[in-house]
A and B are shown apart, each in its own frame.
Chain A
Amino acid sequence: MFRPSHFLAVLLFALFASTVFGITQRETPRRMFYYGAYCFALFVGSVIVLSWVMYFIAP
């Protein structure tokens, strides 16, 4: 059984989803790459921010 940490699971999820988003939502290879990188950064960045928010509001 593959048991990744939560953060590794986030990284894998973001990588695969960003790849498909980049290819399907833009038309030129350069713009696909930049959009994929943008989506990846947003996925991972939002997880880190929300994690810290939950850390501070946790009882």
Chain B
Amino acid sequence: MRYSQKRMATTPNKAAADKVANQNVAQGFVYLPLIAGWLAPGAGHFLIGKWIRGLLIASSVVCMFALGLAMHGKLYAGAQDILDLLGLAGDLGNGLMYFVGRTLGLGAAPVQVTTADYGTKFIVVAGLLNVIAAVDAHNLRTGRKAS
């Protein structure tokens, strides 16, 4: 009786603990796909070997951002009111593309035509889609999403 209790109390627990320890070692820095995916669209999926998904995400987000700039959309630079703050938050989702665009002085002209307003929305939505994709890469990395 004592022997069986001992086995039940230790062996399965040890096996489970070993499994968790092995998973933790294998996972490493689990936020890397999240950060990489935010900085460069699709990079989070590339890091975990989802090449086609990463390519589709990268092409979608980059094309949307580039079309937004081509339509003379605005890159939000500051937050004068709450709507600007929301726009800035969306734009920041583009990661490095936003900072490079700001550095090059893109999207700085005032919005004067309708298509420029479409472009501004394209840029904001590209950032939001990029955040969704980065979180998806993180979920794949942690195992919260199966595949």
Contacts and interface: CB of A to CB of B under 8 A. Distances in A.
A19 B114 CA distance: 25
Interface of B is mostly: helix
B115 A9 contact: yes
* Interface residues on chain B, size class: 20 to 34
A19 B56 contact: yes
Contacts of A20: 57, 60-61, 129, 132-133
Given A16-B61, A19-B56, A20-B61, A1 B71 contact: yes
Contacts, number: 59
Nearest to B137: A24
Given A16-B61, A19-B56, A28 B147 contact: yes
B67 interface: yes
B8 interface: no
A28 B121 CA distance: 30
Given A3-B71, A3-B115, A13-B125, A23 B147 contact: no
Interface of B: 53, 56-57, 60-61, 63-64, 67, 70-72, 113-115, 118, 121-122, 125-126, 129, 132-133, 135-136, 145-147
Given A1-B70, A19-B57, A28-B147, 20 more contacts: A1-B71, A1-B115, A4-B115, A6-B114, A13-B122, A16-B60, A16-B63, A16-B64, A16-B129, A17-B60, A17-B129, A19-B60, A20-B57, A20-B132, A20-B133, A21-B132, A23-B136, A24-B132, A24-B136, A27-B145
The 7 closest A-B pairs by CB, nearest first: A2-B70, A24-B136, A16-B60, A20-B129, A19-B60, A16-B64, A3-B115
